[in-house]
Structure formats: C-alpha cells, structure tokens
Amino acid sequence: MEKFNFIFLFLVLIAEIAGAIGGFGSSVFFVPTANIHFIFETVLGLTAEFHVFSNIS
C-alpha cells in the first residue's frame, strides 16, 4: 500500500507541475492520472480539494 501511495503522489506532483508550467489547468493532467487509480466520483472530489488548496496557497 505504501508503494501505491508513493507512486500516485509522485504522478500527481508531476501532473501538477506540468499543468502549472504548461499554462493549462492542473486538472488536464491530474484527472486522467487519478482516474487510473480511483472511480470518477472520487477523482472529482480530489480535483476539488486540489483546487481549494491551490487557491489557499
């Protein structure tokens, strides 16, 4: 389970960086990456959390 978390978090970090550098929304890369591991409703919730935390920061 820890390996899964590390791989997923690494892919999410890469997706967020690529979205920021590319000028796209981070969801463009995050949603397909997260959809590999979770069902779509969970991915939508995670995407909303990422948007909230990015707005806070």
Segment 1-57, tens digit of pLDDT? 567 778 888 887 887 788 778 777 777 878 888 888 889 999 999 888 877 877 776
At 38, the amino acid letter reads F
Residue 31 in contact with residue 42, Cβ under 8 Å? Answer: no
Segment 24-39, tens digit of pLDDT? 777 787 888 888 888 9
pLDDT score for 41:
93
What are the residue ranges spanned by the domains of the chain? 2-56
Residue 43 in contact with residue 35, Cβ under 8 Å? Answer: yes
Residue listed under structure tokens 């949603």: 31
Residue 50 in contact with residue 30, Cβ under 8 Å? Answer: yes
Q: pTM for the whole thing?
A: 0.66
According to DSSP, residue 53 is labeled: H
3-state secondary structure of 38: coil
